[in-house]
Chain A
Amino acid sequence: MRAEHASAEPAAVAFERTDDAALIVRLSGQWRMRHGLPSGDLLTRELMRSTGIRRVAFDTSQLGAWDSALVVFVTRIIEICRTRKVNEDRAGLPAGLQRMLELAEAVPDKKEARVSAIRASIAERVGRASLEYFGGVTDFIDFLGAFAIALGRLVTGRARFRRIDLVIEIQDCGARAFGIVTLISFLVGVILAFMGAVQLQQFGASIYVADLVAIGMVRDMGAMMTAIIMAGRTGAAFAAQLGTMKVTQEIDALTTMGLDPMQFLVLPRVLALILMMPLLCVYSDLMGIMGGAAVGAGMLNISLTSYMRETTAAIQLGGAFGGIFKATVYGAIIGIAGCLRGFQCGSSSSAVGEATTSAVVTGIVYVVVACGIFAVLFHILGL
């Protein structure tokens, strides 16, 4: 701020008691923020030691250059004086510093505005967390209901959204996802075949690798792997897009224009995912079987024709449709989880990050839970 006669001494504080119940604080040397701050405890100790002090004054005749470091330190001293009901005499301080203190005090501290950070007990925190968790489930179901209403409006032709949005979303979660689905599904097929081959070779039954891969991919793994890819890819994107729109009040702008964000934003996104997931799932099944065939041909010396014949014999229509149905449901889960987390986003950029993470976690958790439910259900139904 200002360099008076340049004394290169480091910042120092000294206390001196005078007769008239006053304590003089002598500030000297260079007060720079980059050199750190002396502690205010010294004054507290000084005040404790000597009784009868009614006034604290300042002496800055030896003070060198100073910046906000000194302002902070003096503010601390003033705070201590306030709490101990000692008067402070600012006359000895540099004029610039006095003005800064006045500015800082011009707007009184808003105590009520301070967010209280009281640490709750562990029992309370566990309780709150579980309530929040189950609240999360009901939020999800609420959102699902609202989405169903929007879908109903779509069916009756009264839904308001831009058709072009639906096309863009379909392109994004359909065509653009092919590459990654190809890679992952092929590798999953390879892994399944490998795991099976090691065991089946011992019995000379390596041809059954084809059955294993086909049934595994078609019934569960195809849908599951696509779901996990789409949760990380598209569910996260939904949450980030809607979360950002929440932060910038774009969603409010839709609402106050009489455009329901559920129809306008959620409907095209979730619908695109519901439409594309079955297709991606079938494609993923195919890729997985190709992966299995690659292992069969390369490692087990099974000819491609016999591998394919075995595969077609193994796949049952019911199982294949089951897998496609599961994929559709997973698509709805992922899309709704992504949009829900986006809508629940707070109003800061870090909240968008949290919403994105939470969308992926929620999506995958609910998909796995649904997978378990399907397994039991299909078993009971004998599929």
Chain B
Amino acid sequence: MSEPDTVDSAQPPARRPQPHIIVRDLTIAYGDFVLMRGLNFVVNRGEVFIVMGGSGCGKSTLLRVLLGLKEPATGEIFYGDFNFIRADSEARERQLRRFGVLYQGGALWSSMTLAENVGLPLGEFTDLSSAEIREVASLKLSLVGLKGFEDYYPSQISGGMQKRAGLARAIALDPEVLFLDEPSAGLDPITSRLLDELILEIRDTLGATIVVVTHELASIFAIGDNSVFLDADSHTMIAGGNPRAMLEKTADPRVRRFLTRGDQSEQDRASR
């Protein structure tokens, strides 16, 4: 942001972190099977927050709970001052409209073209004309590298492209909070690097808070401001904080193994 009078540059460079998502004593269960317990973390406004952990430990499920698609067994979730768990469905719906979500499988509406997918929320929640909607949809698609695919149906593009189109839909309404479930899974290294840059760009220009579920170590270190590490065996979070700092400081062998891809020599070097 180059203009000197914007709100952002008017603030001191080291802004005081402002809590945006607050999770307290969250327990998540499928029936009697407790998947996660004792989750406590805070996501600050405008940061990229990484949710990591082994496959099947419950990252996608945690996202579903944060989005109200699944009720937690116990615990509370606040978005700013808004008590999400206690709120009625209408208030929740209003809150959800400020979110953008990319699902693990893309979840594009298969009966609509890419432009219609991206344009649907614009048509429902803005006063834009249909030509303008089309323009915005094209812009969002070109941001994820899908210029020219406006009139394709989801079944006519590859899995990685579906992922990117899903991201375009998630950012259609310039959301306050963006939830991304494994955005770079299935993408080649270069595209996934471009995606990382796009995520940082969204954070910086829109000031969006971004929650990313990912296994991709390169992404974790490149974009993560803060993180939480879920462990499947102990059914709770066992670490948190800035991923780069975590790699240097953590004493927990499970976290270390994950952050070094289980590579023994790197673990030794790191612990030296």
Interface residues of A (CB under 8 A from B): 110, 112, 160, 162, 244-245, 248-250, 252-260
Contact = CB atoms under 8 A, between A and B. Distances in A.
B97 interface: yes
Contact of B107 (A162, A248, A260): A248
B107 A249 contact: yes
Given A250-B110, A258-B94, A160 B124 contact: yes
Interface stretch (B98-106, B187-195, B220-228): B98-106
Contacts of A253: 101, 103, 107-109, 169
B69 A256 contact: yes
A256 B107 CA distance: 12
A252 B121 CA distance: 14
Contacts of A160: 124
* Pairs of residues from A and B, 8 with the lowest C-beta to C-beta distance, nearest first: A249-B107, A258-B97, A253-B107, A249-B103, A256-B101, A258-B96, A258-B93, A256-B67
Given A257-B96, A257-B97, A257-B121, A250 B67 contact: no
B97 A248 contact: no
Interface in B66-124: 67-69, 93-94, 96-97, 99, 101, 103-110, 120-121, 124
**Most A-side CB within 10 Å, residue of B96, B104, B169:** B96
Contacts of B110: 244-245, 248, 250
Contact of B96 (A248, A249, A250, A256): A256
Nearest to B96: A258
Nearest to B235: A112
B151 to A, nearest CB: 16
A365 B28 CA distance: 38
A249 B170 CA distance: 14
6 contacts: A245-B110, A249-B104, A256-B69, A257-B120, A258-B93, A258-B97
A259 B109 CA distance: 13
Contacts of B232: 110
A250 B33 CA distance: 26
Nearest to B172: A257
B108 A250 contact: yes
A249 B124 CA distance: 20
B68 to A, nearest CB: 8
Given A252-B103, A253-B109, A259-B121, 13 more contacts: A112-B33, A244-B110, A248-B110, A252-B101, A253-B107, A255-B96, A256-B68, A257-B101, A257-B124, A258-B94, A258-B96, A258-B97, A258-B124
A248 B166 CA distance: 12
Contacts of A259: 120-121, 124
B93 A260 contact: yes
B27 to A, nearest CB: 16
A162 B108 CA distance: 16
B109 A256 contact: no
Given A160-B124, A256-B69, A250 B109 contact: yes
A255 B121 CA distance: 11
Contacts of A256: 67-69, 96, 99, 101
Contact of A250 (B69, B93, B97, B107): B107
A257 B68 CA distance: 12
Interface in B129-146: none
Interface string B179-214: 000000000000000000000000000000000000
Nearest to B124: A160
Contacts of B121: 257, 259
Given A257-B97, A258-B94, A252 B124 contact: no
A248 B106 CA distance: 8
A260 B96 CA distance: 11
A257 B179 CA distance: 12
B152 to A, nearest CB: 17
Contacts of B107: 248-250, 252-253
A252 B124 CA distance: 17
Contacts of B109: 245, 250, 253-254
A154 B189 CA distance: 48
A110 B97 CA distance: 39
Contacts of B97: 257-258
A254 B161 CA distance: 20
**Most B-side CB within 10 Å, residue of A110, A258, A260:** A258
Nearest to A249: B107
A158 B212 CA distance: 34
Contacts of B94: 258
Contacts of A257: 96-97, 101, 120-121, 124
Contacts of A254: 109
Contacts of B69: 252, 255-256
**Most B-side CB within 10 Å, residue of A254, A255, A260:** A255
B66 to A, nearest CB: 10
A162 B133 CA distance: 15
Contacts of A249: 103-105, 107
A246 B110 CA distance: 12
A292 B107 CA distance: 51
Nearest to A108: B233
A115 B216 CA distance: 30
Contacts of B68: 256
A283 B221 CA distance: 67
Contacts of A252: 64, 67, 69, 101, 103, 107
Contacts of A162: 120
